[in-house]
Amino acid sequence: MFHLPAGVIYLDGNSLGPLPKAVCDHVSKMMRDEWGEQLILGWNSCGWMSLATKLGDRIGRLIGAEPGHVVLGDTLSIKVYQALAAGLDINRDRKVVLSDTGNFPTDLYMAQGLIKTLGKQHELRCVSPEEIWDNIDETVAVLMLTEVDYKTGRLHDMKSLTKKAHDCGVITIWDLAHSAGAIPVDLVAAEADFAVGCTYKYLNGGPGAPAFIYVAPKHADLVQPALSGWLGHDAPFAFERDYRPGSGVERMRVGTPPVIALKSLEAALDIWDLADMADIRAKSIELCDLFLTEVEARCPELTLASPRDWKKRGSQVSFRFSEAFAVKQALIAHGVIGDFRAPDTIRFGFTPLYLDESGVLAAVEVLENVITNRIWDQSKYKLREKVT
C-alpha cells in the first residue's frame, strides 16, 4: 500500500512517513473533480469544511480520544502554543511550565515565546526526563511533555505522570508526535487534559501535513483560545465584530484549513482503518529488538542511546557515534535511510506497516559495512545541507 523507491530500506518513517499509493489518485481526483469543477462550492458540496473534525475523529481512534474532541489544522508548533496558552489560563495562579531537557526544541521555543508574550513572569523549568516525577508539585501550572523522546525513543509513563500531576492540581499537555501511529495511546484512560501531535511522521500524511489537537471534554467548552481565529468562532460566517469561541474543540481551529493536505492525510488514514495498534506495537517491538541486538553485536563502535527495555521505548532505536552525520550520509548512499540528530545521534524508526525482519537485517548488514570498513570517512559524506 506504500510507494517505496526500489533499492531503499526506509528507516525514517518517524520523521516523514512514505507515500501511501492511494494518496496520488485521491488528491488528483480532489483537484480535478472538487476544486476544478466545484470551485468555491466545494466547501459545502465536497465537505471540505468538516474535514478537520472528520479526520480528527479518525486520529482520535488511534490515540484513545473521545469522538468529537480532536481537530486538525496548522503545524504542531502552533498547536503546542495553543494548548500551553489554554493550560496556563486554566491554572492562572501558578507560574511554572514543567518540561524535560529531551523535549523537541520547538515545543520549548514556543513555550519561551508564549511566556514572553504573556509577560507574567512564568518560568519554563526543564529538568532531565528522570527528574520529572520529583518536580511535579503544587507550584507547577502545566506539565508539558513529549511522550516518546524524538532523539532516543525513551517513553514517558503518561498515565502515572498525569495522575501525579492531577493530584498536585497540574494541567497536562502530551505531545504525541512520536506516539500517534507508533504505539497504542489511550488519552481517556490516562485522563490527559490536552494532547497534540503531527500527522506527517508515523501517520504518513505527507510533508507538512496538518497537526492535531485534543482537548479533554471537561475543558473543551471552557478554554479560551489564545489564537482566536475566525474558524474557531462560534459563527464564522456571521462575520461578527467580536470573537466568541465555537463549541468544544472546534474553538482550537484558527484559519482556513489546508484542504489538499487534508485530502492527502485522508487517504493515508485509510490504511490505519485496516491496522490494529496492538499488532503494530507487537511487531514494532520485535523489529526494534532485532535491530538493537544485531547492531550491538556487530557494530561495537556504536553506543546505544535508546532504552534497551522495550517497555521504556517507542518505535525507534538510536545510537551515538562521534561521526554520526557522516555515517548517516554513507548509509543513504548505500540504500538505507535513517536520520541524524545533532550532535552525535543516528536514529532509526521502525514501522511494521512496510518493514519486516529481512529489511532490518539488510539494514544492519549495510551499517556494519559502513562502520567496520570506515566507509563514512570520506569528505563527501561530511558535507551538511540545510536539512540534516
Indicate the residue among 107 and 323 with the shorter CB distance to ligand PLP.
107
Q: State the catalytic residue, choosing from 194, 200, 212, 321.
A: 200
Going residue by residue from 167 to 186, which x/- string records binding to ligand PLP, judged by CB under 6 A? --------x-xx--------
Q: Closest Cα partner for 199 from 275, 283, 287, 258?
A: 258
Long-range contacts, 50-58 (Cβ 8 Å, 24+) = 51/257, 51/259, 51/262, 51/263, 51/266, 52/210, 52/253, 52/257, 52/262, 53/249, 53/250, 55/262, 55/265, 55/266, 55/269, 56/212, 56/249, 58/269, 58/272, 58/273
Of residues 164, 251, 347, 381, which has the active-site annotation?
A: 347
- Examine the residue annotation and report whether 347 is marked as an active-site residue of this protein: yes
Q: Pick the closer one to ligand PLP by CB: 226 or 367.
A: 226
We find the least distance from the C-beta atom of residue 200 to ligand PLP, in angstroms, to be 7
* Stretch 101-130: interaction string toward ligand PLP, x if CB under 6 A: ---x-xx-----------------------
The answer to whether 289 and 310 are in contact (CB under 8 A) is yes
Q: Which of 151, 164, 201, 253 is catalytic?
A: 201
Comparing CB distances to ligand PLP, the nearer of 78 and 223 is: 78
Residue 54 CA to residue 247 CA, distance in Å, equals 15
Task: Point out which span in 70-78, 122-130, 253-261, 372-380 binds ligand PLP (CB under 6 A).
Answer: 70-78
Residue 340 binds ligand PLP (CB under 6 A): no
Active site residue 29: no
**Closer to ligand PLP by Cβ: residue 78 or 292:** 78
Q: Tell me the C-alpha distance between 134 and 297, whole Å.
A: 36
Give the pairing type, strands 303-304 and 316-320: antiparallel
* CB 56 within 8 Å of CB 205: no
Q: Which of 198, 252, 324, 370 binds ligand PLP (CB under 6 A)?
A: 198
Q: Binding to ligand PLP by residue 150, rule CB under 6 A?
A: yes
Residue 386 DSSP label: S
Could you count the other beta carbons within 10 Å of the beta carbon of residue 379?
A: 7
Residue 227 in the binding site for ligand PLP (CB under 6 A): no
Residue 146, interface with ligand PLP (CB under 6 A)? yes
Rounded-to-integer distance, Cα 150 and Cα 14, Å: 9
- Residues in CB range of 128: below 8 A, 6 or more apart: 100, 101, 102
Q: How far is the CB of 232 from ligand PLP (least distance, A)?
A: 18
Residue 133 phi, psi dihedral angles, 5° rounding: -50, -50
What's the burial of 204, exposed, middle or buried (CB within 10 Å: 0-12/13-18/19+)? Answer: buried
In this chain, which of 63, 76, 259, 370 binds ligand PLP, going by CB under 6 A? 76
Q: Count residues binding ligand PLP (CB under 6 A).
A: 13
Question: Between 26 and 347, whose beta carbon lies closer to ligand PLP?
Answer: 347
Cα gap 325→327, rounded to integer Å: 5
Question: Judged by CB under 6 A, which stretch of 2-10, 100-108, 131-139, 348-356 contacts ligand PLP?
Answer: 100-108
Is 311 tagged catalytic? no
Assigned C-alpha cell, 87: 493550560
Is 201 noted as a catalytic residue in this protein? yes
Per CB under 6 A, contacts with ligand PLP among 80-99 are none
Backbone angles phi, psi at 175, to 5 degrees: -90, 120
Among 38, 75, 91, 139, binds ligand PLP (CB under 6 A): 75
Gap between the Cα atoms of 369 and 312, Å rounded: 29
Q: Provide the mask over 349-388, with x wherever binding to ligand PLP is found by CB under 6 A and - wherever it is not.
A: ----------------------------------------
- Minimum separation from the CB atom of position 58 to ligand PLP (A): 19
Largest separation between any pair of C-alpha atoms in the chain: 68
194 binding ligand PLP? (CB under 6 A): no
2 has catalytic annotation = no
- Which helix (H) or strand (E) segment is 217 a member of? helix 217-220
Q: Which of the following is catalytic: 2, 104, 202, 214?
A: 104
The binding site for ligand PLP (CB under 6 A) comprises 75-77, 104, 106-107, 146, 150, 175, 177-178, 198, 211
Q: Which residues are catalytic?
A: 104, 175, 200-201, 347
